[in-house]
Structure 1
Amino acid sequence: MDFRFGVVGESVRTAGDLLSTARRAEELDYATLTLRDHLIPDGFGDQLAPMVALTAAAAATTRLRVGTLVLANDYRHPAFVAKEAATLDAVSGGRFELGLGAGWLREEYERAGLPFDPARVRVDRLEESLRIVTSLLDGEKTTFAGEHYRVDGLTVHPVPPRRPPLLVGAGSRRMLGLAGRYADIAGVLPRALPNGTISDELTERLPDTIARKVGWVREAAEAAGGRDVELSMLVYPAFGPDPRRAAAKVAVLRGWGASSAGLVLDMPSQFVGPPEHIAEQMAARRERFGFSYYLVSDADMEAFAPVVALLNGR
């Protein structure tokens, strides 16, 4: 697949931030602006409600796609997710991408008074939700009776002329399998831990681990009829004239130690050095792993723009 690039609005706090970021992302030829879905600051500060904010971003731009990265399934019934997705797709002129995940941030659940069920239960719910949402957005009259959700002869209005692309963010084998079976885009992540955090283990980011995760997506996609699934990853590039020195800095900042610089250089999710070098890395890793859709924080949007110019659509 051709390269495309997105921005995650991690530092967007106000309407002004939102609109200026969206317009600037479009000027720099990014494909998408995405927003997270959190009720508490987490590691990125307070967040705007994604569906409402993305509607405003779409209205302020003409080409930029907008998307969720990702909605936590447990926070909304799938019928309402489908209704809002269909509406946002319509008002944006078909520029919406729906990202869904199982939810992982225990502290957020607890502070909102929501039960933080074991991962198995949360993933069960997500799978049921994916079945309902895809059926509704495909324009089908949907009846479904599962353990967690029931709908009876439900339809959605407006019916999208083409179902909005669906992204599933996934780090575990089962979640990556769901992405392969249901999603148009698999957002490959480090695995979520039972304590309600995301793993910071170095091994989660090494080439063999990422290759194994990509393999799980492809295996599930093949079993589901040979589906084509775009592979995506959120990355935090480190710029500098010397890739090894930039890698050593990343290793120290992440707590892995300067001796891990060589491992950082090989991480599929880590890009270091000048823009031309990063572009070469991305082309090589697309060949090896298949990743073609990369997202960066809005804090890196300007610095990463030369990479977008080198690779966009190639």
Structure 2
Amino acid sequence: MQPFRFGVIGETVRTPADLTDRARRAEDLGYSTLLLRDHFVEEPFGHQLAPLIALTAAASVTTTLRVGTQVLANDYRHPVMLAKEAATLDLLSGGRLELGIGAGWLRDEYASAGMAFDAAGERVGRLEESIQLLKSLFGTTPTHYAGEHYTVAGLDTFPAPVQRPHPPLMIGAGSKRMLRLAGREADIVGVLSKALPDGTISGDVAERRPDTMAQKVAWIREGAGDRAEQVELSMMISPVIADDVRESASRFADARGWDALAADEVLAMPSVFIGPAERIMDLIRQRREEYGFSYYVVSDRAMDAFAPVVAKLSGD
């Protein structure tokens, strides 16, 4: 069973001061990792700094905090360039990078950049090849690769990453094929709601239900096979520190337009943690037993309120 650790995703980071403040604060509060998304359009998450450059700056003002991407869109960078940039960040941070990557899903972003938004199967196929290339490029011998999407002829990359055989690879995944791929290839799997063919992420409440989460975890384990216990399961969660559990669950549902959803249904969602800190800690332990999740990520908006949980459970 994996020990607990916790990450912060920098949802409100817009300026250098924001970045250094969140990084130092996350480290002081005992969080494992500062994570940044990878988007260059404002919607749906707000404007963001370029993740690899910003994370280099965050690493330079901290000493133990890990830095990671949640997650890079594979189509936005050729794997040769990504391998070099990631290895450089790992070197400059003293081996603190977690490299998160996914297939890319936001159609409007592709359109704004003039990039073709190919069918999901093709995007996932490119990601599969990219992962193989990245692992080879992080290695110690020249890379020779000829695939359907990428060709590399005898490339010997510099610098080498500090972490061996490569920085921990996180794959963000929500669909059956992606979750199996992540189980097979990743060190960390970030479980998401599934991406839809129209280039959005599913808002269906069913994506948050216990049976759906159990199925997603089962697909990861199918992909992982004998190494299933070595794969760290991660999820972004919605914590609400409150004394009145049911009333807070009802408000949580109302804020998301789930007017018809009963409080009990909200409270059963594996990604929702509502109540006093002790209740939330009990739920985190229970859900690790049930699903295997040990690496939870919260918004920087919640990092201070959630800090007592982090202090109590980290490393447990």
Band of TM-score, shorter chain? over 0.9
Amino acid at match of 2:82: V
Q: Report the Cα offset of residue 226 of structure 1.
A: 5.4
The superposition leaves residues 231-265 of structure 1 with CA deviations (integer Å, 9 ceiling, x where unpaired) of 00011212210221111111111112254321111
Q: Report SS of the residue matched to 1:187.
A: strand
Contact residue 13 and residue 48 of structure 1 kept, 8 A: yes
Separation in structure 2 between the aligned mates of residue 184 and residue 287 of structure 1, nearest angstrom: 19
Separation in structure 2 between the aligned mates of residue 240 and residue 284 of structure 1, nearest angstrom: 19
Contact residue 171 and residue 190 of structure 1 kept, 8 A: yes
Amino acid at match of 1:262: D
- Tell me the residue number matched to 2:250: 248
Contact residue 101 and residue 170 of structure 2 kept, 8 A: yes
The superposition leaves residues 146-177 of structure 1 with CA deviations (integer Å, 9 ceiling, x where unpaired) of 11111111122122241100000000001001
Q: Report SS of the residue matched to 2:283.
A: helix
Amino acid at match of 2:56: T
Residues 167-206 of structure 1 aligned to structure 2 (within 5 Å)? 167-206=170-209
- Tell me the residue number matched to 1:267: 269
- Tell me the residue number matched to 2:111: 110
The superposition leaves residues 96-152 of structure 1 with CA deviations (integer Å, 9 ceiling, x where unpaired) of 110000011111110111111111111011001011001111334211111111111
Contact residue 249 and residue 258 of structure 1 kept, 8 A: no
Gaps of 5+ in 2: none
Separation in structure 2 between the aligned mates of residue 154 and residue 2 of structure 1, nearest angstrom: 38
Q: Report SS of the residue matched to 1:54.
A: helix
Contact residue 7 and residue 296 of structure 1 kept, 8 A: yes
Q: Report the Cα offset of residue 7 of structure 1.
A: 0.3
The superposition leaves residues 72-103 of structure 1 with CA deviations (integer Å, 9 ceiling, x where unpaired) of 00000001111111000000000011000001
- Tell me the residue number matched to 1:257: 259
Q: Report SS of the residue matched to 1:268.
A: coil
- Tell me the residue number matched to 2:11: 10
Contact residue 145 and residue 151 of structure 2 kept, 8 A: yes
- Tell me the residue number matched to 2:61: 60
Contact residue 179 and residue 219 of structure 2 kept, 8 A: yes
Separation in structure 2 between the aligned mates of residue 118 and residue 276 of structure 1, nearest angstrom: 45
Contact residue 144 and residue 152 of structure 1 kept, 8 A: yes
Q: TM-score, normalised by structure 1?
A: 0.97
Contact residue 83 and residue 134 of structure 2 kept, 8 A: yes
- Tell me the residue number matched to 1:294: 296
Residues 1-314 of structure 1 aligned to structure 2 (within 5 Å)? 1-161=2-162, 162=164, 163-222=166-225, 228-257=230-259, 259-314=261-316
Contact residue 183 and residue 228 of structure 2 kept, 8 A: no
Contact residue 11 and residue 44 of structure 1 kept, 8 A: no
Contact residue 248 and residue 258 of structure 1 kept, 8 A: no
Q: Report SS of the residue matched to 1:212.
A: helix
Separation in structure 2 between the aligned mates of residue 248 and residue 301 of structure 1, nearest angstrom: 22
Q: TM-score, normalised by structure 2?
A: 0.97
Q: Report the Cα offset of residue 43 of structure 1.
A: 2.3
CA RMSD of aligned residues (A): 1.2
Amino acid at match of 2:217: V
Separation in structure 2 between the aligned mates of residue 5 and residue 58 of structure 1, nearest angstrom: 17
Amino acid at match of 1:263: E
Contact residue 190 and residue 199 of structure 1 kept, 8 A: yes
Separation in structure 2 between the aligned mates of residue 260 and residue 47 of structure 1, nearest angstrom: 35
Gaps of 5+ in 1: none
Q: 1:227 to 1:143 in 2, by over 3 A?
A: farther
Amino acid at match of 1:181: R
Amino acid at match of 1:167: M
